[in-house]
């Protein structure tokens, strides 16, 4: 088994973690879910794969679990200089970072300016001790729609784009298609995650904008101007990950929402490989009835955007 890691997720991810872990288990043979306590989880797997998960704030190499502060004396930490950070999600931890450092034999080894590593003590139901190996650097927020060269107010947030890609069960090198790519939010994240990307949109303005945004992030620019029903590819793709504009403020080109969804699932089935995944965001889960002849439902997760709008992140497996 791979080394265990303590993962700290953002608070808004908690309702989605079940589907996220299921997708990770399906995607990677090495991934194992060990424990979960709210937004804190203990998993094993390859660190580069775990880093792909959306909503991750911190990853720490697992060093142990304690029940009492004095148990810190039994935790073996590597050689080198370090400092301690406590993440007390329960709000009732009974010792300070300085006290924890002393119990970890930190005398003469504490360095805030040039540490070799950071020890994180994470409290949520249990107290996990770990050596931090990853910290979110804020780059994902810098890829928000408003900060890209070409802007659209309806573009999906990068962290949710990444979640939708996680649900696609794809690996680096797999081909991901977004046939309603808009400004490119989903294919930007997919490209950064090492997927081969294809985008298309019926709006030439959006196609040009998506190409500009992809170029800005140093990614390939295979974005085509075509309605999804007319899209032709040289070969089938591993996954389709998309956030269609249906049911939102975007135009429906005179076609009903029902008609759009009926055609969408049939076309997606044609373009996907055997057992391929359609990871789709919908505003009305009732529209999924049109997928029944083409896909089986793997997961549905509701995300409340604001009081009057809930989006549903759905993963569907192609029926062969």
DSSP conformation letters of 223-279: EEE--GGG---SS-EEEEEE---TTSSS--TT--HHHHHHHHHHHHHHHEEEEEEEE
The residue from 104, 135, 166 where one domain ends is 135
- Are residues 123 and 149 located together in one domain of the fold? no
At 220, which helix (H) or strand (E)? none
**In the sheet that 4-9 helps form, which strands lie side by side, from edge to edge?**
32-37, 40-44, 4-9, 56-66, 126-135, 117-124, 82-88
Beta carbons of 160 and 85 less than 8 angstroms apart: no
How many structural domains are present in the chain? Answer: 2
Domain final residue pick, 102, 135, 168 = 135
In this structure, what CATH number is given to the domain that contains residue 89?
Answer: 3.30.2130.30
Question: What does pTM read for this prediction?
Answer: 0.94
168-to-9, 227, 287 alpha-carbon distances in Å: 20, 22, 20
115 lies in the same domain as 172: no
Residues 66 and 214 in one domain: no
CB atoms within 10 A of CB 126: 14
Residues 52 and 167 in one domain: no
**What is the domain extent for residue 167?**
142-318
Same domain assignment for residues 55 and 26: yes
In sequence order, the 6+-apart residues with CB closer than 8 A to the CB of 187 are 176, 178, 181, 197, 198, 199, 210, 214, 219, 223
Whether residue 74 is found in the same domain as residue 191: no
List the CATH number of the domain containing 245.
3.40.50.150
Torsional class of 205: left (φ above 0), alpha (ψ -120 to 50), beta (otherwise) = alpha
Clarify whether residues 149 and 268 are in a common domain. Answer: yes
Angle between helices 158-167 and 17-27 (to 10 degrees): 50
Q: What is the pLDDT of residue 25?
A: 97
Tokens 């089986």 sit on residue: 296
pLDDT in tens, the chain (320 residues): 567 999 999 999 999 999 999 999 999 999 999 999 999 999 999 999 999 999 999 999 999 999 999 999 999 999 999 999 999 999 999 999 999 999 998 888 999 999 999 999 999 999 999 999 999 999 999 999 999 999 988 889 999 999 999 999 999 999 999 999 999 999 999 999 999 999 999 999 999 999 999 999 999 989 999 999 999 999 999 999 999 985 544 444 556 788 889 899 999 999 999 999 999 999 999 999 999 999 999 999 999 988 888 999 999 999 98
Q: Do 168 and 230 lie in a common domain?
A: yes
Residues 164 and 89 placed together within one structural domain of the fold:
no
Q: In this predicted structure, what is the pLDDT of residue 308?
A: 82
Which domain-ending residue is among 71, 103, 135?
135
Residue 247 confidence (pLDDT): 52
The reply to whether 245 and 282 lie within a common domain is yes
Q: Is 139 exposed, middle or buried (0-12, 13-18, 19+ CB in 10 A)?
A: exposed
CA separation for the pair 19, 246 (Å, rounded): 24
Same domain, 266 and 221: yes
- Same domain assignment for residues 290 and 256: yes
């Amino acid at each position: 088994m791979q080394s265990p890691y303590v993962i700290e997720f953002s608070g808004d991810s908690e309702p989605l973690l079940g589907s996220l872990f299921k997708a990770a288990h399906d995607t990677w043979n090495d991934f194992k879910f060990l424990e979960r306590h709210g937004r804190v989880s203990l998993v094993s797997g390859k660190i580069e794969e775990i880093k792909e998960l959306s909503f991750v704030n911190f990853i720490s190499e697992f060093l142990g679990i304690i029940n009492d502060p004095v148990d810190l004396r039994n935790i073996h930490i590597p050689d080198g200089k370090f400092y301690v950070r406590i993440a007390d999600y329960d709000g009732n931890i009974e010792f300070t970072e300085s006290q924890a450092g002393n119990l970890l034999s930190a005398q003469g080894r504490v360095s805030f300016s040039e540490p070799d590593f950071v020890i994180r003590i994470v409290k949520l139901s249990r107290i996990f001790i770990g050596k931090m190996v990853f910290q979110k650097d804020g780059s994902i927020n810098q890829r928000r729609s408003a900060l890209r060269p070409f802007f659209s107010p309806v573009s999906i947030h990068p962290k949710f784009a990444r979640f939708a890609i996680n649900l696609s069960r794809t690996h680096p090198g797999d081909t991901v298609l977004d046939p309603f790519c808009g400004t490119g939010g989903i294919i930007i994240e997919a490209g950064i995650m090492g997927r081969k990307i294809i985008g298309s949109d019926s709006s030439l303005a959006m196609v040009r904008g998506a190409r500009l945004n992809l170029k800005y992030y140093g990614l390939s620019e295979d974005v085509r101007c075509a309605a999804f029903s007319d899209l032709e590819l040289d070969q089938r793709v591993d996954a389709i990950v998309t956030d269609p504009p249906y049911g939102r403020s975007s135009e429906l080109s005179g076609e009903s929402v029902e008609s759009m969804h009926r055609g969408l699932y049939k076309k997606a089935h044609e373009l996907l490989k055997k057992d391929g995944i359609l990871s789709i965001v919908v505003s009305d889960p009732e529209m999924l009835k049109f997928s029944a002849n083409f896909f089986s439902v793997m997961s549905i997760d509701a995300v409340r955007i604001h009081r009057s709008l809930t989006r549903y992140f759905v993963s569907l497996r192609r029926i062969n």
